Amino acid sequence: MTTFLVAFLSFFGFILAYNTYGRFLARKLFQISPEEVVPSVEFRDDIDFVPTNRYVIFGHHFTAIAGTGPIVGPTIAIIWGWLPALIWVVFGSIFIGAVHDFAALVLSLRHKGRSLGDIAGSVLSPSAKLLFLVLLTFILAIIVAVFGNVIAKTFEDYPQSVMPTIISIPVAIMLGVVTHRFGISLFFASLVSIFVLGVTVAASAGSPVFSLRLSSLEHYHPMLNSTMLWTWILFIYCYFASVLPVWLLLQPRDYVNSLILYIALILIVVGLVIACFLGNADIFGTSPPLRIAEASKSGAPPILPFLFITVACGAVSGFHALVSSGTSSKQVASMNDAQFVGYGGMLLEAALAVIVIVSCTAGIGIGISNAKSAAASTANQTFTANNEHANSATKNTPTIITGREAWNLRYDRNWKEMNLGEQVGTFIEGGANFISMVGIPTKYGQGIIAILVACFAATTIDAALRLMRYILQELGGMIRFAPMKNRFFATAIGLAMAIGLALCKADSNAAYGTGGLILWPIFGAGNQVIAGLTLIVASVYLIRRRAKAIYLIIPGAIMILIPLWAMLYNITQVFIVKGQYLLTVIGIFIILLAVWLIYESYIAIHKLIAMNNDENK
């Protein structure tokens, strides 16, 4: 029952926060009014600016901000124990993450749907705009590269997820056309979409004929291993998703993916309740709530500051501000929807992160096969000394292991052995164990969650590339470079940057496309710096309106100092030591941009305070 209480109290906290703190932010602090004209109505063009049903835009916004962030981050972070990760997810999302997302959305809605970087130019200074746009470009390139790698590894490890993910594209286009052009009921179109995807999931999980695996062509060129092949295919898709009208692919695809997620989450939660009452899910018995010393011995970085960087999107994410000010603000049909989309979307993402934490602990403890881990062990030839029991087990015939032994097999190991693909697989298998409690066979449950992961990551990379296109177009306007203002050319430039990072290797002897884990700290720290800067920009906006900015200034300061601490640690203790000079240069560049923007923010706040004092005299 302890597992049930952990989940229940977390969900109750989110509901309570939405109806209290979220309502305070909307009504008192930002003073939302339904009479305000929103950009989607004022600038409607049916390409980027499209007034949208609040449930459709919520689905787009939620899937775009979520991606695999609240999945990948917590699956890695519980190496320090599940309790610190859980506490940060719950309280971080309520008082920082959701506040950040809501503030970014409101700022963009009140600035004609402009991007965060463009808004920074109005709120702070013209030079701040240029700095912000450059910083955002680099972070978005990392997001596309890392999440593209996550999808590719998911396709490689779980081929049953490929066909449903591919089929979801024409299904989404169909939904967008029939609802936008022909006025077909959204409810009816949603039912048809769910039915088609459900049949595809069942067929793919039940028969290898409907599964799809790419054979490596590495003997022709090192860049053509199976992971990179999937990455190339995904990037081609992203290009078209970035330039097509938002209602045709991006918006309906995100909505369809949100339906998949809702169904999967309901199945997991129902299975969790059943497992708890049957005594099959013991979060304390399966994994330790705190294991800082053990993590340190395994080579993991220190819990402070890296817990906050690793969890990332599960609690707070600067990327969310880009979605809020990039695509969502151009589709929200009424200011009344801002709290629902901005604050509510982040809380639902945090709820997903809680489910991930429980799945990677109590869920894994229900039972997993050691076959896949055995293969990994043979390849790496290393496990930590205190994992000898699990290591010896993997040398024998594959069996089902349960409880603490199952969790140790995935986490009681050297930090260097952990990779994004395998950690995502931990959530897939743990979540599938909960779904099996509902009566759905484990192989189908794994297919459902693998599809969820792949579809979510796809919504993030196509949204990220579209956002990157917006930013590059704004940069083109600033530097007066006409070709970059073209959406096709700007998308190509952004994709080229992401491809360069996607080719990153974990080390000199590794294959192309294996550098996801070493890119993750750069993404995490840079991403959180953007969150902190967004909160500071919003604070300046509130000070101008003579509102109490303390609710944003304190979270903003926290989300600037901690990520910069982590970035400095990585540069001095990891990147330079390992000779990872590209990451060193990127890290230093992000720090310099952040410090410059902090200075610009200080000047703006100082001027406003002085101005307000003069007016009060």
20 falls in which pLDDT band (50, 70, 90)? very high
> What pLDDT, on a 0 to 100 scale, did the predictor assign at position 232?
86
What are 553's two structure tokens? 């200034």
> What pLDDT, on a 0 to 100 scale, did the predictor assign at position 464?
84
Please give the single-letter amino acid code of residue 50: V
Per DSSP, the residues of 439-502 read: T--HHHHHHHHHHHHHHHHHHHHHHHHHHHHHHHHHHHHHTT-GGGGSHHHHHHHHHHHHHHHH
Q: At residue 220, does pLDDT exceed 50?
A: yes
Q: At residue 573, does pLDDT exceed 60?
A: yes
In Å, what is the CA distance from 504 to each residue of 72, 406, 509, 510? Answer: 19, 31, 12, 9
> What pLDDT, on a 0 to 100 scale, did the predictor assign at position 388?
43
> What pLDDT, on a 0 to 100 scale, did the predictor assign at position 375?
36
To the nearest whole percent, how much of the chain has pLDDT over 70? Answer: 91
Element (H, E) at 400: strand 400-401
**Neighbouring C-alpha atoms within 13 Å toward the C-beta of 518:** 27
Segment among 206-220, 282-296, 353-367, 586-600 with least mean pLDDT:
206-220
In contact, 141 and 503? CB cutoff 8 Å = no
- What count of residues does the chain have? 617
In Å, what is the CA distance from 31 to each residue of 98, 122, 184, 542? Answer: 17, 20, 35, 11
- Per-residue pLDDT tens digits for 55-77: 889 988 888 888 777 888 899 99
pTM, rounded to two decimals: 0.85
> What pLDDT, on a 0 to 100 scale, did the predictor assign at position 371?
63
In contact, 431 and 445? CB cutoff 8 Å = yes
> What pLDDT, on a 0 to 100 scale, did the predictor assign at position 376?
37
> What pLDDT, on a 0 to 100 scale, did the predictor assign at position 116?
82
Per DSSP, the residues of 82-143 read: HHHHHHHHHHHIIIIIHHHHHHHHHHHHTTTT--HHHHHHHHT-HHHHHHHHHHHHHHHHHH
Distance between CA atoms of residues 165 and 457, nearest Å: 11
**If 0-12 CB within 10 Å is exposed, 13-18 middle and 19+ buried, where does residue 278 land?**
exposed
> What pLDDT, on a 0 to 100 scale, did the predictor assign at position 561?
93
Distance between CA atoms of residues 148 and 457, nearest Å: 7
Provide the β-strand partners of residue 52. 332
Q: What is the mean pLDDT of the chain?
A: 85
Distance between CA atoms of residues 475 and 495, nearest Å: 16
> What pLDDT, on a 0 to 100 scale, did the predictor assign at position 227?
79
Distance between CA atoms of residues 560 and 310, nearest Å: 15
- Per-residue pLDDT tens digits for 414-431: 887 776 667 788 999 999
φ, ψ of residue 199 to 5 degrees: the values are -65, -40
Q: What residues contact residue 376 under an 8 Å CB cut-off, 6+ apart? A: 417, 422
In Å, what is the CA distance from 288 to each residue of 365, 381, 386? Answer: 12, 25, 15
In contact, 72 and 423? CB cutoff 8 Å = yes
5 falls in which pLDDT band (50, 70, 90)? very high
- Per-residue pLDDT tens digits for 316-373: 999 899 889 888 999 999 999 999 999 999 999 999 999 999 999 999 999 887 765 4
Q: At residue 206, does pLDDT exceed 50?
A: yes
> What pLDDT, on a 0 to 100 scale, did the predictor assign at position 506?
64
3-state secondary structure 259-304: HHHHHHHHHHHHHHHHHHHHCCCCHHHHCCCCCHHHHHHCCCCCHH
Q: Averaged over 273-301, what is the pLDDT?
A: 91
Query: Is the backbone of residue 408 left (phi > 0), alpha (psi -120 to 50) or beta?
Result: alpha
Rg (CA), the chain: 23
Q: Averaged over 491-509, what is the pLDDT?
A: 81
Domain boundaries, the chain: 2-367+402-616
Distance between CA atoms of residues 426 and 413, nearest Å: 14
In contact, 77 and 296? CB cutoff 8 Å = no
In contact, 484 and 475? CB cutoff 8 Å = yes
Alpha-helix residue ranges (DSSP H) falling in 545-580:
550-569, 576-578
Element (H, E) at 401: strand 400-401
Please tell me which residue, 435 or 616, carries the higher pLDDT value. Answer: 435
> What pLDDT, on a 0 to 100 scale, did the predictor assign at position 485?
87
- Per-residue pLDDT tens digits for 142-167: 888 887 877 887 788 878 788 888 88
Q: What residues contact residue 441 under an 8 Å CB cut-off, 6+ apart? A: none
Provide the β-strand partners of residue 257. none
